[in-house]
A and B are shown apart, each in its own frame.
Chain A
Amino acid sequence: MTTLQEQFDATVAHSDRIEPRDWMPEGYRKTLVRQIAQHAHSEIIGMQPEGNWLTRAPSLRRKAILLAKVQDEAGHGLYLYSACETLGVSRLELTEMLLAGAQKYSSIFNYPTLSYADVGTIGWLVDGAAICNQVPLCRTSYGPYGRAMVRICKEESFHQRQGYELLTTMMRGTDEQRAMVQESVDRFWWPALMMFGPPDADSPNTVQSMEWGIKRNTNDDLRQRFVDMSVPQAEALGVTLPDPALRWNDERGHHDFGEPDWEEFMAVVKGNGPCNAQRIAHRRRAHDDGAWVREAALAFAERSAEESRA
């Protein structure tokens, strides 16, 4: 007779999926809740920097694309909260933990969007980095998480393409537009690299997460992959990536690149990024302002149920 732990280990070792009713180590559950919640929060907070330009999109077509994209992000957050809910934590609890600062979201969304080019750069670099992070998660060991990621990744690849397409269009435009694109890329390149998290040496949870099949690649692996992907894309676009150390290394078969400013990263993670306070205040306001609506719908549902029983 095998123990529950052995069954769990065997399932993960065979790259099979763990499902909600399976026995799982408490650490596995906690790590999943933390990671999925962080993903979900990132989608929801991530609506804000792009949403900042919704009312100012410079063409009706771009307005439709941006609105559809920000709406997708609400959907992604919803799918991920649902995956998390299979683990015994409710969306409301997760939202409250976000607002209390007990759970994080991606540090990238604590940077401001300052021009319309940022909408394109976020699509290209930020969604691109998210895809690098997330595509391997379609094969993550926890079933509901993997299924949510499949759906999300599919939509994200559309997002990345629309961002890149906006930038290529702007590069065909006026000198001011080209300058706007370059300035935006200058601001977002380093924060995008930080999206993969601290260097492996400083990422103590990675080993356990990989053993559990929750994570599939190390931070540094994914960062390298992202740089290698982005360099030819930047060339095709006609922008310069703001890293003097960036060059192809024949021996490694990869690009060498400079070190992100990890002190800045830690400051942003700790709450001192340009927009941390603003993003959380915005989310809190929306949540608080909506309380009476949510309550009214529940009261109405209860009353209707009573009436139909009577």
Chain B
Amino acid sequence: MPETEWPLWEVFVRGKRGLNHVHVGSLHAADDEMAVRHARDVYTRRNEGVSIWVVRSTDVTASSPDEKDPMFAPSGDKVYRHPTFYAIPDDVPHM
């Protein structure tokens, strides 16, 4: 059976009080609790006092009329060309 990967999460960090949470990157984790812990390890080096949000990438609904690809037209609300919603051509990507 082919391996299933831990799902992808988007990480938002608020450096200090008074600021907005800012998207800093993504990571893989099996569940939300693990995602928060990973975010702390990967993106803040466990700097305490940093507030972290994590969101499943597939749970983000996107709208950016400026970015144009008919690929996204039918269900044009996804953030990424992620495998979950984007079929990969067979010939990707050899040297």
Contact = CB atoms under 8 A, between A and B. Distances in A.
Direct contact, A vs B (beta carbon within 8 Å)? yes
B4 interface: yes
Interface in A72-92: 75, 78-79, 82, 85-92
B94 interface: yes
A245 interface: no
B66 to A, nearest CB: 8
B27 A102 contact: no
A22 B67 contact: yes
A88 B25 contact: no
A300 B28 CA distance: 15
Contact of A21 (B6, B25, B64, B94): B64
A298 B4 contact: yes
B30 A300 contact: yes
A21 B86 contact: no
Contact of B69 (A21, A103, A301): A21
A93 interface: yes
Interface string A7-36: 100000000000111111010011001100
A82 B27 CA distance: 7
A103 B30 contact: no
A30 to B, nearest CB: 5
A19 B66 CA distance: 10
B92 interface: yes
B3 interface: yes
Interface in B57-95: 62, 64, 67-72, 78-83, 86, 88-89, 92-95
A15 B11 CA distance: 27
Contacts of B30: 294, 297-298, 300-301
A85 B8 contact: yes
A47 to B, nearest CB: 15
Of A4, A7, A21, A86, most buried by chain B (CB within 10 Å of CB) is A21
Interface string A271-310: 0000000000000000000010011011011001100000
A23 to B, nearest CB: 4
Contacts of A227: none
21 contacts: A20-B80, A20-B81, A21-B69, A21-B79, A21-B81, A22-B69, A75-B42, A78-B27, A78-B42, A79-B25, A82-B8, A88-B80, A88-B86, A92-B5, A93-B83, A103-B95, A295-B3, A295-B4, A300-B30, A301-B31, A305-B31
Interface of A: 4, 7, 19-24, 26, 29-30, 33-34, 37, 75, 78-79, 82, 85-93, 97, 102-104, 148, 151, 291, 294-295, 297-298, 300-301, 304-305
